[in-house]
Amino acid sequence: MDLESYAQPVIEFVKVHQVWAAPIVFALCFAESLAFISLLIPAWAALVGIGTLIGASGLNFWPIWVAGAVGAALGDWLSYWIGVKLEHRVYHMWPLSRHPDLIPKGEAFIKKWGALAVVIGRFSGPLRASVPIVAGIFAMPFWRFQLANWSSAFLWAAMLLTLGDFTSEAIKWVYRLWS
């Protein structure tokens, strides 16, 4: 199945049941940011699609944005906590057991960029769920991680949702221009 076949039913559900927009965005962002689960749930396309509904359907941006940011930050927080608690045992868990080079690469990335690695990782699909767990494994200071985690979560959620909203407005503008 392609990405659209996963995202479209979610977008259609939100279109019909707008009251569920914020809880669904929360769940999608949480899953998109949670280690291991993010590999199974390609949520970003649905998030951009829901962003198009914000402009097109009159959904309120603010509660959806906050729900998305909180979901993303909590997903990273849980991933960090898993890294702290399991430490190097994570090496033996799927999918990291199939890619043993990921943790050393993640460690090098975090050592090079520090807390900024969490921010950079948030905006990169492959890094989004792996950087927080590696930050936990190698004991990045808790408050440094959380500052980068929460600030990048709000920025990331705003970017995805406004990307969809901007796309919707651009399509309307082009349609009016050509009509």
d(CA 89, CA 10): 35
pLDDT tens string 73-127: 999 999 999 999 988 787 777 667 777 777 888 889 999 999 999 999 999 877 7
What number of residues does the chain have? 179
- DSSP code per residue over 105-126: HHHHHHHHHTTHHHHHHHTSHH
Q: Is the pTM for the entire model greater than 0.95?
A: no
| Contact status, residue 140 vs residue 110, Cβ threshold 8 Å | yes
d(CA 65, CA 58): 14
Provide the pLDDT for residue 144.
Answer: 97
Provide the pLDDT for residue 157.
Answer: 95
Provide the pLDDT for residue 165.
Answer: 73
**In terms of Cα–Cα distance, which of 73, 20, 14 is closest to 49?**
14
What are the domain boundaries of the chain?
A: 3-178
pLDDT tens string 2-42: 666 778 888 899 999 999 999 999 999 999 998 877 777 77
